[in-house]
């Protein structure tokens, strides 16, 4: 497919963005972003050990030139991006430093008695290591004595091997502290739904888009996502209750658990001697997502609001500085309390008004079209939708309480897109007539209608070049007008793939390898079960006993893994007397097999696995597993 360049903003987009610029943003944010600046990395490009480009802050220099927003970027998003583009090492207060701008998230360094306490070691070990070098060079060169994960998203733990090592942790030289259920939720999100989520994340963050005013400009929470797989070291300690206090390398920390907020496992915490409050990702300088467009468990907007209120009551009066896992800090008791109050009220308002209209009988689409953010929130930058969007968040609240189904039986079992597309094209009088109507709508600036209408033709006939081109043009103009960075990226990714085709299918195994290494046996078996090709297991019923030699004396030592009614099942802590085979091996070797560093056949030949009984059972179970890629189509069948 011939590569097509992005197009310019239409007259309708120019007018819409000009209207959006008729407001005065908070000038204090620029002061906050710059406050405490010490130094930046000498080289703008961060590379991996093999020379792969992981992150390039230099490619965003166009945001630092002081130019007015171009016609192809919503002016409010443009300004937000210029703030996120500030990068380097910043002193927050005495004893607290942050490195910002080299990842989508922030890494925070707290000076302990013996060394550095690291809060959220970014997405990649390379961006995390570069940040550690920066603080060691300009503040103090001392060891990392503890790592605190605020929550279970990869951009807050994925760079852990850049600041410490398994050997350091195993030797007790570095503690790793996380909220309870951290590992469970991390694996659930990144492995069980990993392939689909990784593909959809390319639409949310736009890593495959060209950087620039007609492409990717920002991610809302930060400037961009590194192109490097995450690593993981399991926590050595879990926080299990609000009010729990630890002394970490001589520094007192009071924790507040906030489950089912921005992440299923998350926590805020307060440093009473520093009077510093970390709000994790429960607060940031943007409206957040109640469910991200990449997919995730729907978040609890009501509890989210209540936990922010609890933070306000527990710590607000005493704290003098508030920092978060993204964007920039707030200083001063009055300012941070006002910030928390607005953040609290934002999520409560979205929750309450969505359910108010739901109980009046409005559907999700109708609620999203009816609600508009009040001036109370639009007047402030941190409650605008640079990352999350009210349109999407209202639907998330509805989904949490009432599911995806809007109550109309006509929508209960709708035809799939390809089938319904063919019928709509026929109804319109054929492809040419549909395109004629769609072009007229495009000329009127009715891009949402164009996108809906032409989508039917693309799914009915993905080879129709005129349909693909018009659909791409419509999505592109919607992107240029979007205030939300995630909506912008999604629209632009859709346009790019309609013009160029989807990316080449890529296996997700390599990216997941760093997470798989920390998985329990149960999590491994659960993840494998998702890949079961049930259509090939008709009439199969068998069980295998498993013994893991490196888990001796624990409930995880013995397992049963089997096939029943075309479904893989597993049972912990027992063996089945009817098992047709028995496998004895180490858990670590099982992980090597899953990450494809070896195979069962090779390990058996090497004497690393003892297999007794029917060897064919192993082939039956593991020979009927599907493979996934992150290149499946989204905007076409």
Q: How confident is the model at residue 505 (pLDDT cuts 50, 70, 90)?
A: low
**Mean pLDDT, residues 429-444:** 98
CATH number at residue 427: 1.25.40.880
Q: Is residue 17 part of a domain?
A: yes
Q: Are 147 and 121 in contact (CB under 8 A)?
A: yes
In a domain, 3, yes or no: no
| Whole-number Å distance between alpha carbons of 244 and 570 | 35
Domain that holds residue 392: 11-402
Q: Would you give the end-to-end CA distance of the chain in angstroms? A: 16
Contact 121, 103 (CB under 8 A): no
pLDDT at 189: 85
Q: Point out the domain boundary residue: 357, 378, 402.
A: 402
Do 65 and 201 fall within a single domain?
Answer: yes
Q: How many domains does the chain fold into? A: 3
- Residue 500 covered by a domain: no
Per-residue pLDDT band for 511 (boundaries 50, 70, 90) equals: low
Please indicate, yes or no, whether residues 398 and 436 belong to a single structural domain of this protein.
Answer: no
Per-residue model confidence as pLDDT tens digits over 408-418: 999 999 999 99
Per-residue pLDDT tens digits for 91-106: 999 999 999 999 999 9
Residues 307 and 376 in one domain: yes
Whether 210 has a pLDDT exceeding 60, the answer reads: yes
Q: If we measure between CA atoms, which residue out of 5, 84, 2, 1 comes closest to residue 492? A: 5
CATH number at residue 211: 3.60.15.30
Q: Does residue 422 have a pLDDT over 60?
A: yes
441 and 380 in a common domain: no
pLDDT of residue 194: 87
Residues 281 and 306 in one domain: yes
> What percentage of residues in the chain have a pLDDT greater than 90?
93
Residue 506 has pLDDT above 70, yes or no: no
Q: Is residue 312 part of a domain?
A: yes
- pLDDT score at 31: 97
* 387 in any annotated domain: yes
CB 226 within 8 A of CB 205: no
How much is the pLDDT for 516?
Answer: 86
34-47 mean pLDDT: 97
> Is residue 238 assigned to a domain?
yes
Strands 245-248, 251-257: pairing is antiparallel
**CATH number for the domain that contains residue 539:** 3.30.1050.10
Q: Of 358, 377, 402, which one is at a domain's C-terminal end? A: 402
pLDDT of amino acid 190? 83
Domain boundary residue, one of 433, 455, 481:
481
Average pLDDT of the chain? 96
Task: Report, as an integer, the average pLDDT of 62-76.
Answer: 96
Q: Which among 403, 251, 411, 223 is positioned nearest to 326, based on CA atoms?
A: 223
Answer whether residue 346 is part of any domain: yes
Note whether 397 and 424 are same-domain residues: no
| Same domain flag for 461 and 553 | no
Query: In this structure, are 319 and 455 located in the same domain?
Result: no
Are 373 and 468 in a shared domain?
A: no
Angstrom CA distances, 609 to 570, 578, 588, 606, 616, stand at: 20, 21, 12, 8, 15
DSSP 54-71: EEEGGGGGGGGS-PPPPT
Are 201 and 301 found together in one domain?
yes
Is the separation of the CB atoms in 183 and 235 below 8 Å? yes
396, 425: one domain:
no
pLDDT band at 381 (very low <50, low <70, confident <90, very high): very high
- Weakest-pLDDT range from 104-113, 429-438, 561-570, 627-636: 627-636
pLDDT for the residue numbered 517: 86
3-state DSSP assignment of residue 514: helix
Tally of CB atoms within 10 A around 577? 7
Q: Per-residue b/e over 143-180, b at no fewer than 16 CB within 10 Å?
A: ebbbbbbbbbbbbbbbbbbbbbeeebbeeebbbbbbbb
Distance CA 546, CA 569 (A): 13
Structural domain includes residue 635 = no
| Confidence class for position 188, pLDDT limits 50, 70, 90 | confident
Tell me, yes or no, whether 195 and 280 share the same domain.
Answer: yes
* pLDDT tens figures, 460-482: 999 999 999 999 999 999 999 99
């Amino acid at each position: 497919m011939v590569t097509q360049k992005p197009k310019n903003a239409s007259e309708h987009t120019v007018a819409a963005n000009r209207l959006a610029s008729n407001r005065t943003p908070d000038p204090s944010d620029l002061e906050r972003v710059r406050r405490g600046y010490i130094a930046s990395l000498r080289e703008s490009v961060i590379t991996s050990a093999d020379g792969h480009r992981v992150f390039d802050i230099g490619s965003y220099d166009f945001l630092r030139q002081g130019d007015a927003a171009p016609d192809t970027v919503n002016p409010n998003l443009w300004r937000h991006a210029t703030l996120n583009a500030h990068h380097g090492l910043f002193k927050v207060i005495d004893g607290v430093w942050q490195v910002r701008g080299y990842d989508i998230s922030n890494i925070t360094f707290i000076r302990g008695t013996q060394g550095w306490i690291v809060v959220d070691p970014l997405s990649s070990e390379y961006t995390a290591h570069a940040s550690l070098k920066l603080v060691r060079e300009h503040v103090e060169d001392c060891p990392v004595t503890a790592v605190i994960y605020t929550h279970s998203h990869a951009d807050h733990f994925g760079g852990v091997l850049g600041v410490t090592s398994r050997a350091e942790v195993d030797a007790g030289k570095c503690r790793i502290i996380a909220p309870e259920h951290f590992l469970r939720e991390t694996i659930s999100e990144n492995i069980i739904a990993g392939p689909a989520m990784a593909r959809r994340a390319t639409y949310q963050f736009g890593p495959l888009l060209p950087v620039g005013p007609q492409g990717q400009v920002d991610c809302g929470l930060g400037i961009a996502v590194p192109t490097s797989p995450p690593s993981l070291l399991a926590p050595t300690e879990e926080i299990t209750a609000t009010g729990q206090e630890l002394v970490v390398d001589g520094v007192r920390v009071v924790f507040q658990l906030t489950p089912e907020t921005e992440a299923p496992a998350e926590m805020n915490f307060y440093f009473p001697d520093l009077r510093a409050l970390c709000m994790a990702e429960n607060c940031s300088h943007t409206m957040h997502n109640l469910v991200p467009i990449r997919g995730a468990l729907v978040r609890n907007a009501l509890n989210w609001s209540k936990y922010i209120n609890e933070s306000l009551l527990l710590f607000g009066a005493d704290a003098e500085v508030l920092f978060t896992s993204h964007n920039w800090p707030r200083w001063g008791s009055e300012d941070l309390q006002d910030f928390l109050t607005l953040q609290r009220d934002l999520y409560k308002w979205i929750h309450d008004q969505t359910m108010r209209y739901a109980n009046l009988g409005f559907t999700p689409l109708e609620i999203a079209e009816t609600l508009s953010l009040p001036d109370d929130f639009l007047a402030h930058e941190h409650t605008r939708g640079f990352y999350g969007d009210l349109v999407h968040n209202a639907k998330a609240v509805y989904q949490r309480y009432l599911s995806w189904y809007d109550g109309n039986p006509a929508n209960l079992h709708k035809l799939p897109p390809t089938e319904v597309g063919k019928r709509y094209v026929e109804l319109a009088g054929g492809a040419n007539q549909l395109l004629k109507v769609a072009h007229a709508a495009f000329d009127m600036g009715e891009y949402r209608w164009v996108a809906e209408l032409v989508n039917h033709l693309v799914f009915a006939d993905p080879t129709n070049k005129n349909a693909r081109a018009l659909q791409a043009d419509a999505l592109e103009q919607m992107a240029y007008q979007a205030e939300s960075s995630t909506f912008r990226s999604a629209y632009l990714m859709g346009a790019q793939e309609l013009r160029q085709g989807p990316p080449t299918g890529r296996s997700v195994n390599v990216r997941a390898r760093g997470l798989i290494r920390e998985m329990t046996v149960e999590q491994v078996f659960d993840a494998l079960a998702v890949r079961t090709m049930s259509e090939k297991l008709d009439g199969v019923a068998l069980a295998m006993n498993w013994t893991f030699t490196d888990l001796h004396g624990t409930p995880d030592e013995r397992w049963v893994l089997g096939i029943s009614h075309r479904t893989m099942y597993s049972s912990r802590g027992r063996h089945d007397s009817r098992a047709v085979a028995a496998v004895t091996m180490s858990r670590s070797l099982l992980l090597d097999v899953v990450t494809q560093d070896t195979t069962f056949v090779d390990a058996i030949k090497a004497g690393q696995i003892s297999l007794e009984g029917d060897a064919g059972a192993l082939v039956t179970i593991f020979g009927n597993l599907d493979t996934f890629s992150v290149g499946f189509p989204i905007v076409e069948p």
